[in-house]
Amino acid sequence: MKIRCWMAACCLSLTGYGAIAQTYLQGATIIDGTGGPAIEDGAIIVANGQLACVGSRQQCRPLADSVIVDIEGRFITPGLVDAHVHFGQTGWLDGRPDGISAPDVYPYQKTANDAKANPGRWQQSYLCSGITAVFDVGGPFWTTQLRAAADNNPKAAHVKAAGPLISWAGREQMQLNDEIYSFLPMGSVEESLASVSKLKAMGAQAVKVWFLAPPADQRDGMDQRMLAIGAAAQQAGLPLLVHATSLREAKVALRAGAHMLVHSVSDLPVDQEFLDLLIENNTVYAPTLVVGSGWTRALTSIVFNTPAPIDDPNGCVDQQTIDNINQPNLLREYLPDRLDNQWAYRRLEGVGHELALLEENLMAVHAAGATIVTATDAGNPMTLHGPSIYAEMEAMQSAGLTPEQIIVMATKNGAKAMQDQNRFGTLEAGKAADLLVLRQDPREDVAAFRTLSHVMRAGVLRKQSELAYRAVNN
Ligand SMILES: [Zn+2]
């Protein structure tokens, strides 16, 4: 017997059916994430958490006992991949005491313990926002343990995590005098190699280097260590991820074999040498366009003692985070003196200029043919786990990329960055049944991802509102 559902009715609680042989989604326009043409009036067969067939209704036919879900007039895409997040950070300054340290208001040890105790808080935000896979590119050791439990869990996004990051800038600069979040050192070539070995031993799924531009007299030594780390990561079978926002250091990272640059180059326009290295290495470029303005909004909200607006169209941000953002007054007395009104206005004025360079570099990288991903840096102040992906995709669109290009970057390319392209990222038979149902056409405007009506993860279809922390009017 077929159980027939419509989007507003019984299909919303498919989970209640227990062991369903097959779910058959019919009638939507399917955008499969490969960049190929969309399938109008398409059909998708889901069985055992996987996609069994994706195509036309003629190509994919239901079995006698399939649960049939009618979704005419809607749009199906793969689940989104956020290629740069931090489970160890909260979306507010309590998770970044190097920004403003306020131990009496937000004891960092407590913030760190809370993050460790409840990664499900962000997992819910991700699914609620349509994100079904995330790459944690730096954080406490425990983040490296999230992957196994998340993989086939319909209540969690897939995770890959780099764990503690290697940096020449240590605890003093970060003011992280706690035992949970520790940097690994790169004080010499030997120390750098030991740091890679340590990551391998703890089960990290990548090696991340926080490669800040060093003082000029230390450059040569630092370059050598970067190259040594690259060789060691390759030997360990771990992808090398590098934070290198200066053009010079980004080139060193590419020479070291970086699998992904986790941010834009932001100090200078990229040049041909950089683009050649990027293409030669097949390195993934993660622009993270909006995280800088998130910091600006967070800090200026404290200077002006006015909460920053929260961009959360689907109710996906947890109440604790919202409460923190809405109380900038708690941090006012901890503001460093230099962060005064003058500073705030200058910083607000500078946001557009900074973004213009990031956009220019993004389009140059795109024109060169490099692999680009959608990546938010979620967990940083005002770059919220989950919904920040909408603003990031819209910023990519404003930079000049087309919605169809961005959809591929936010799905297939994200899976490639995670080296999981054989398991998810596109809607193809044999891959994980991770998909989104949208009310509006994302090929017209990526803002359509805000009109998410349903999320399927590992074959379990849920109404978006079931994943939300609060009801919203839309
Ligand atoms: Zn980051």
Average pLDDT over residues 359-380: 98
Could you tell me if residue 456 is inside a domain? yes
Q: Closest Cα partner for 474 from 328, 465, 82, 76?
A: 465
Q: Which has the closest alpha carbon to 137: 80, 199, 186, 198?
A: 199
CATH number at residue 31: 2.30.40.10
SS3 call for 288:
coil
Structure tokens at 28: 């939507």
pTM exceeding 0.75: yes
Question: Is 6 a residue whose pLDDT tops 80?
Answer: no
CA 435 to ligand 1 center in whole angstroms: 26
pLDDT of residue 9: 47
Judge if 146 and 262 occupy the same domain.
Answer: yes
When mean pLDDT is compared across 101-115, 233-247, 267-281, the lowest value belongs to 101-115
Q: Are 383 and 294 in contact (CB under 8 A)?
A: yes
Please tell me the distance between residue 137's alpha carbon and the centre of ligand 1 in angstroms.
6
Note the pLDDT of residue 4.
66
Residue type, 221: G
Angstrom distances, CA of residue 460 to CA of 41, 60, 186, 322: 22, 19, 44, 28
| Ligand 1 centroid to residue 159 C-alpha, Å | 15
Name the pLDDT band for 10 (thresholds 50, 70, 90): very low
* Confidence at residue 162, expressed as pLDDT on a 0 to 100 scale: 97
Distance from the alpha carbon of residue 460 to the mean position of ligand 1, in angstroms: 30
Per the prediction, the chain carries an average pLDDT of: 93
pLDDT of residue 5: 61
The answer on 281 and 261 residing in a single domain is: yes
Distance from Cα 299 to the centre of ligand 1, integer Å: 18
Whole-number pLDDT of residue 20? 58
263 shares a domain with 160: yes
Assess whether 257 and 272 both reside in one domain.
Answer: yes
How far apart are the CA of 224 and the centre of ligand 1, in A? 24
Span of 15-29, 302-316, 350-364, 387-401 with lowest mean pLDDT: 15-29
Question: Are residues 264 and 205 located together in one domain of the fold?
Answer: yes
Please check whether residue 302 lies inside any domain of the structure.
Answer: no
pLDDT reading at 1 higher than 90: no
Q: What is the mean pLDDT of residues 210-219?
A: 93
Do 402 and 435 belong together in one domain?
no
Question: Which residues have CB under 8 Å from 417's CB, separation 6+?
Answer: 81, 83, 135, 259, 260, 284, 286, 371, 373, 375
- Kindly give the distance from the C-alpha atom of residue 386 to the centroid of ligand 1, in angstroms, as a whole number: 15
Q: Tell how far the Cα of 174 is from the centroid of ligand 1, in angstroms.
A: 14
21 C-alpha to ligand 1 centroid (Å): 41
Distance from Cα 225 to the centre of ligand 1, integer Å: 21
pLDDT band at 176 (very low <50, low <70, confident <90, very high): low
325 lies in some domain: no
Q: Is 371 inside a domain boundary?
A: yes
Structural domain including 412 reads: 80-292+343-417
- Which pLDDT belongs to residue 21? 72
Does position 144 have pLDDT exceeding 80, yes or no? Answer: yes
In whole angstroms, give the CA distance from residue 293 to residue 299.
10
55 and 72 assigned to the same domain? yes
Distance in Å, CA 7 to ligand 1 centroid? 37
- Nearest C-alpha neighbor of 392 from the set 306, 302, 266, 264: 264
Q: Which stretch of 81-85, 170-174, 407-411 has the lowest confidence by average pLDDT?
A: 170-174
Distance 9 CA to ligand 1 centre (A): 40
Q: Provide the pLDDT confidence category of residue 97 given band limits of 50, 70 and 90.
A: confident
For residue 305, tell me if it sits in a domain: no
- Residue 314 maps to a domain: no
- Ligand 1 centroid – CA 209 distance (Å): 11
* Ligand 1 centre distance from Cα of residue 446 (Å): 23
pLDDT in tens, 247-282: 999 999 999 999 999 999 999 999 999 999 999 999
Q: 118 alpha carbon to ligand 1 midpoint, in Å? A: 20
Residue 15 and residue 126 in one domain: no
What is the mean predicted confidence (pLDDT) over 28-48? 97
Q: Is the pLDDT of residue 15 over 90?
A: no
Give the pLDDT confidence of 123-133 residue by residue, as tens digits: 999 999 999 99
Residue 221 domain-assigned (yes or no): yes
Query: Are 285 and 384 within one domain?
Result: yes
Distance 208 CA to ligand 1 centre (A): 10
- What pLDDT does 64 receive? 87
The share of the chain scoring above pLDDT 70, in percent, equals 93
Predicted local confidence at residue 181, as pLDDT? 55
When pLDDT is cut at 50, 70 and 90, the band that residue 187 belongs to is very high
Instruction: List beta partners, residue 185.
Output: 167
Are 66 and 114 members of one domain?
no
Distance 85 CA to ligand 1 centre (A): 6
Same-domain status, 366 and 400: yes
- Work out the average pLDDT over 45-64: 95
Look at residue 474 in the predicted model and tell me its pLDDT.
60
Answer yes or no: is pLDDT of 354 > 70. Answer: yes
Q: Is residue 430 part of a domain?
A: yes
Q: Which of 93, 88, 139 is nearest to 243 (CA)?
A: 139
Which CATH number characterizes residue 94's domain?
A: 3.20.20.140
pLDDT bracket for residue 116 (50, 70, 90): very high
Predicted pLDDT of residue 65: 87
Domain count, the chain: 2
Q: Is residue 17 predicted with pLDDT exceeding 70?
A: no
Give me ligand 1 centre to Cα 83, in Å.
10
Distance 84 CA to ligand 1 centre (A): 6
CA of 240 to the centre of ligand 1 (A): 14
Specify whether 232 is located in the same domain as 273.
yes
